[in-house]
Chains A and B, each alone.
Chain A
Amino acid sequence: MLRIRDLHVYYGVIHALKGVSLEVERGEIVTLIGANGAGKTTLLRTISGLVPPRSGEIEFEGRSIFRTPARDIVRLGVSQVPEGRRVFATMSVQENLELGAFLRRDKSGVAEDLEKVYTRFPRLRERRRQLAGTLSGGEQQMLAIGRALMARPRLLLLDEPSMGLSPILVQEIFRIIREINEAGTTILLVEQNAHMALSVSHRAYVLETGRITLSGPSSELAKSEEVKKAYLGG
């Protein structure tokens, strides 16, 4: 579904991605783990068309999305839940969700999906008239996920959705990620919480300073000595 080949990304002189190759198949949850500054966010932002890559290939469903404008990538079916949630704090919960469906013209489909999001996140329904900035961290994360789902994506990119949340909320977020995947959405998940990420995902990649150093089924990576040492605390 998503195929990345030898991708290079620079910020000025900083070489942030040094030839990354990665694949995500339809129906999978693939996780990308790596230390702070490894380039995980850069990779997701490049896929979404927010950072222009220098060279390489990015294909979504057989079509090149290399340097494609961000809105066309959303239109093709790739949505992102960004690092730090980035909800529109000065707008209401419902307006945030409606913005997620910005490019859609099918009013009835949008209404249906809004209902689905509210069913999945009852807290958001209760607070739909409230400004997003007044929500708690966990609620904002749910709003960011709901907002991305409003585009009806086939591939969902999640950048550190568990960041800054209490252990109970982390459990809940991962349960939701699994549910979204079971409902048919393919997921590429970036996490520092390697334990949880490896337990929900099918396959995993390890990114170190701009390079993929390990990849394989999540259950195997969870047992690998290198991963244990570097990301699972021994």
Chain B
Amino acid sequence: MTTFVQQLVNGISLGSIYALIALGYTMVYGVIKLINFAHGDVFMVGAFVAYFAYTGLHLGFIGSLIVSMAACALLGVLIERFAYRPLRQSTRIAALITAIGVSLFLENAGIIAVGAQARGYPDMLPGSPFQVGGVTISTKQVEIILLAVLLMVLLQFIVHRTKIGKAMRAVAFDQDAARMMGIDVDRTISYTFAIGSALAAAAGVVYGAYYSAVDPLMGIMPGLKAFIAAVVGGIGIIPGAMVGGLVLGLIETAVQSFGFSLWRDAAAFALLILILLVKPEGLFGRHAREKV
């Protein structure tokens, strides 16, 4: 029982990291139908920005988190502006290849800037483990979950209650009709990249703090997993990304806790294949036009 609760908390915290990354994939896909393969690398950059803000500028956890989210928001906007926007009218495969190019660029730029070696990450999330009814729970995990919930609530608020959020949904559904409303489509796409990248940055920071190590290639696997989570939930659908992330985190943790650690990644890909076979539109996918 106690291990079950512990594993549950592990699964939810890992899942909420996947969910935060998956949201960026799904939002960007929702508005421009592009799988932004550089998204996992934005997550990596986010982890490093917070690393330097924390160790170099001594900004503390919250300060480093905010600096990292802001920097990655800007990075996301720049990536869209200079790599994807010029290809907006081109084929999807051209944009996809460009996304892979941006991904490789960020990874190699990272290796040049900070070296390929993994480095220890500061213990940013403070607090010691505590006991609830005989179950030991790490404060870090609770903090990760709370942060993820907070950011998701904030995201829901932005998407449903603010003008920019309504513009994002309108552009995702029908760009042309959105233009007829007077919506600035380019600006809306920029905002989408900014928000998605900021969420990835937050995920990068807590990932670094949780696993205590970062390196320039750290974004590849979580990026892939988050992409799977987005597809499992239904690509383009925000609640789908949240649930997909959680499901994936729980499944991976379960596989691991049954002693099959080596099968963890395989389980994620098995889930992807299963979903693509059984319900290719994803758990939350209803009809083809349901987006963002």
Contact = CB atoms under 8 A, between A and B. Distances in A.
Contact of A151 (B176, B179, B182): B182
A147 B184 CA distance: 17
B182 A103 contact: yes
B182 A71 contact: yes
Contact of B289 (A50, A90, A100): A90
Given A90-B291, A99-B166, A71 B173 contact: no
A75 B182 contact: yes
B176 A86 contact: yes
Given A71-B179, A74-B180, A102-B183, A95 B173 contact: no
Contact of B173 (A49, A89, A103): A89
Interface in A80-94: 80, 82, 86-91
B179 A86 contact: no
A98 interface: yes
Contacts of A70: 179-180, 182
A81 to B, nearest CB: 9
B169 A74 contact: no
Contacts of B184: 71
A74 B185 CA distance: 14
A186 interface: no
A48 interface: yes
B94 interface: no
A192 interface: no
B118 to A, nearest CB: 43
A12 B194 CA distance: 34
B164 to A, nearest CB: 11
B229 interface: no
B276 interface: no
A133 to B, nearest CB: 8
A90 B289 CA distance: 8
A100 to B, nearest CB: 6
Most buried by A among B174, B178, B179, B182: B182
Contacts of A99: 166, 170, 178, 181, 183
A82 B177 contact: yes
Interface in B169-217: 169-170, 173-174, 176-184
Contact of A86 (B177, B182, B183): B177
B290 interface: yes
A79 interface: yes
B167 interface: yes
Contact of B170 (A80, A88, A103): A88
B243 to A, nearest CB: 18
Interface string A157-179: 00000000000000000000000
Interface in B240-292: 289-292
B290 A102 contact: no
Contact of B166 (A48, A74, A87, A98): A98
B229 to A, nearest CB: 21
Given A86-B174, A102-B163, 14 more contacts: A48-B179, A70-B180, A71-B182, A79-B180, A82-B176, A86-B176, A88-B169, A88-B173, A88-B177, A89-B173, A90-B173, A91-B170, A91-B173, A95-B166
17 contacts: A50-B176, A71-B179, A71-B183, A74-B182, A75-B182, A86-B176, A88-B174, A90-B173, A90-B289, A91-B169, A95-B166, A98-B166, A99-B178, A102-B163, A102-B167, A102-B183, A151-B182
Interchain residue pairs A-B with the least CB separation, the first 3: A74-B182, A103-B182, A71-B182
